[in-house]
Structure 1
Amino acid sequence: MKSINPDDFRVTKNINLSKTPTNLFNKASDDDKEEKLDKVQAKLSELQDVMYAHNKYGVLICLQGMDTSGKDSLIREVFKEFNPRGVVVHSFKTPNANELEHDYLWRHYLALPEKGKFAVFNRTHYENVLVTRVHPEYILSENLPGIESVDDITPQFWENRFEQITNFEKHITQNGTIVLKFYLHMSKEEQRKRLLRRLEEESHNWKFSSADLKEREYWDDYISCYEEAINKTTTKNAPWFVIPADDKEMCRYIVAKIIWEEMQKYTDIKEPELDDKIKANFAMYKEQLSKEK
């Protein structure tokens, strides 16, 4: 299997999603993908332990993608070796009444990772320039000044949101949060197959929602909104990575490998050194504990 280079998936210039592959590495065997993922899982778990001791950075992993693109299973597989104290997953649904009493970024600030920990946003603050853009009537629930009807939502409104999101990410990265954003790029045909599977396999029936079919009708609109959001908000310190997602196993490995490779840039993340006085008294501490037998 070809080695994974994060730069092959990083968005550094305007991307055209319709011309971006949704599947790569077709010749890789499932065993090979699983073996490679297992190795990266272990490395990431060890890294998080060191991060916890270092206690200066938090890591925010943002996952976006169409329905059935594999976000839930990716989280389960990529982070399953983590100590439970080291990773928190947040799935952002439709804002509740309390959340709507605040600005749209408020609930995302509350869910940011503590120092030494990972947070995974399963759907993210980008829903505020994706689903609300496809369905602008949702904006009316935010009760914003000057927005009385959908007609009041101008192109400048969305430009302002892109700027606000970029500023939000700039602020948190300057204060110790490492931000990595992944768009799971799945084909419309692959989504059709996955939705059919939910209907045909009894064990997957519970995952099916008729709303998925309704949203599928807006496929082209969503792709257009994703493309613009990615192009306008990818930055050096909060980059977007577009990951081919038709092959779930390969997608998981690519995301895990990119996280690992990107984290290697933070060479200051090390376990803290013990105080010299404590190290000098190791023998005494050992003797003290041994006498307790």
Structure 2
Amino acid sequence: MSQDYKQFKITKGPIKLADFKTDETFGLSKKDAKEDLEDFQETLFELQERLYAENRRSLLIVFQAMDAAGKDSAIEHVMSGVNPQGCQVFSFKQPNDEDYEHDFLWRHYDALPERGRIGIHNRSHYEYVLVCKVHPEYILKERLPNIRKVDDITKPFWDDRYKSIRQFEEHLTRNGTTIIKFFLHLSKEEQHERFMDRLNEKDKHWKFSAGDLDERELWEDYERVYEECISATSSDEAPWYIIPADKKWFSRLAIGRIIVKTLQEMNPDFPKVSKKQAEELKLYKEQLESEADKPK
């Protein structure tokens, strides 16, 4: 199955989320998606192995979304077939005291994937222009020199922060890290259903908090800041993908296919051996084969 997902790719703004469907499936069924998911996981494993062996580049995958959009389950299902040795997952919570002793990118830089590895950031450096833009009082915790009160946080402040993010990502791409960013686009109606599931099913109670409802009241504010953020930070080098998230099975399929396509375009390869190394390997093989011929 070879569906083209380029319509989800954003390389420049401005964008409006209302222009993107949350329930797109391309006419596929859940059964189709399951079969396709199993098919590309084998390809993903092979590509990851080549990336790890090459050990020159890395892939950073960023996940952002409204609450209950399915980030955790997407990561679990899509990446279930990869070798843990070559994959690193970081789920970022609220900054701690140590984080606030540094600039806002510090803890994210420290969590970047090493060469040869795939890094997944479940929430990311974008929280500082998303949650913090809806709740600008959080910025005061950073103790920035010219920010003493919320009124000091003006449009130029956010423009500079977007600029810092773009420069950060440009620096990473210049140094061998390919970046793809997923926004799981969930409808407010589907979020309502998923919150109800969390309240109705005992084994999902731990996922729910009263704060979820407080943030839901700010739905339009979050839509606005996501539009502004995606518009300001999408580029050819570090594109955003707006993924329909009302059907979890479809979002997993789309995410997996985009990751595979990105790795195929990176085209990692196993290291080539020199003529001298090839001759040495031949000798090693002969030595091992001679051992097998000796009587036990």
| TM-score above 0.5 | yes
Determine the C-alpha separation between the residues in 2 that align with 1:7 and 1:25: 14
Determine the C-alpha separation between the residues in 2 that align with 1:284 and 1:154: 69
Q: How does 1:116-135 map to 2 (within 5 A)?
A: 116-135=116-135
- TM-score normalised to structure 2 length: 0.95
Deviations 1:50-104 (A, max 9, x none): 0111111110000000010000001101111111111111111111000100000
Determine the C-alpha separation between the residues in 2 that align with 1:184 and 1:119: 18
Q: How does 1:125-274 map to 2 (within 5 A)?
A: 125-267=125-267, 269-274=268-273
Shift in Å at residue 146 of structure 1? 1.3
The corresponding residue for 1:9 is 8
Provide closer, same or farther for how the CA distance between residues 56 and 282 of structure 1 changes in structure 2, counting only shifts above 3 A: closer
Determine the C-alpha separation between the residues in 2 that align with 1:207 and 1:140: 28
The corresponding residue for 1:98 is 98
Aligned residue pairs total: 291
Shift in Å at residue 266 of structure 1? 2.2
Secondary structure in structure 1 of the residue aligned to 2:214: helix
Determine the C-alpha separation between the residues in 2 that align with 1:63 and 1:263: 17
Deviations 1:136-157 (A, max 9, x none): 1001100011111111111111
Amino acid at match of 1:10: K
The corresponding residue for 1:66 is 66
Shift in Å at residue 206 of structure 1? 1.5
Determine the C-alpha separation between the residues in 2 that align with 1:43 and 1:84: 16
Shift in Å at residue 26 of structure 1? 6.5
Determine the C-alpha separation between the residues in 2 that align with 1:119 and 1:6: 22
Q: How does 1:25-40 map to 2 (within 5 A)?
A: 25=25, 27-40=27-40
Shift in Å at residue 213 of structure 1? 0.9
- TM-score normalised to structure 1 length: 0.96
Deviations 1:126-177 (A, max 9, x none): 1000000100100110001111111111111101101110110001111100
Deviates more, 1:82-91 or 1:282-291: 282-291
Deviations 1:1-32 (A, max 9, x none): 7x432321111342210231001127422221
Deviations 1:217-244 (A, max 9, x none): 1100000000000001100100011000
User: Given that residues 40 and 256 in structure 1 are in contact (C-alpha distance below 8 angstroms), is that contact kept between their aligned partners in structure 2?
Assistant: yes
Determine the C-alpha separation between the residues in 2 that align with 1:217 and 1:64: 19
Amino acid at match of 2:254: I
Determine the C-alpha separation between the residues in 1 that align with 2:22 and 2:52: 35
Determine the C-alpha separation between the residues in 2 that align with 1:189 and 1:45: 36
Shift in Å at residue 291 of structure 1? 4.1
Shift in Å at residue 191 of structure 1? 0.3
The answer to whether residue 250 in structure 2 is matched with residue 277 in structure 1 is no
Shift in Å at residue 282 of structure 1? 4.1
Determine the C-alpha separation between the residues in 2 that align with 1:4 and 1:95: 39
Determine the C-alpha separation between the residues in 2 that align with 1:194 and 1:26: 23
Secondary structure in structure 2 of the residue aligned to 1:265: helix
Determine the C-alpha separation between the residues in 2 that align with 1:154 and 1:15: 22
User: Given that residues 62 and 121 in structure 1 are in contact (C-alpha distance below 8 angstroms), is that contact kept between their aligned partners in structure 2?
Assistant: yes
Determine the C-alpha separation between the residues in 2 that align with 1:238 and 1:251: 20
Determine the C-alpha separation between the residues in 1 that align with 2:227 and 2:3: 23
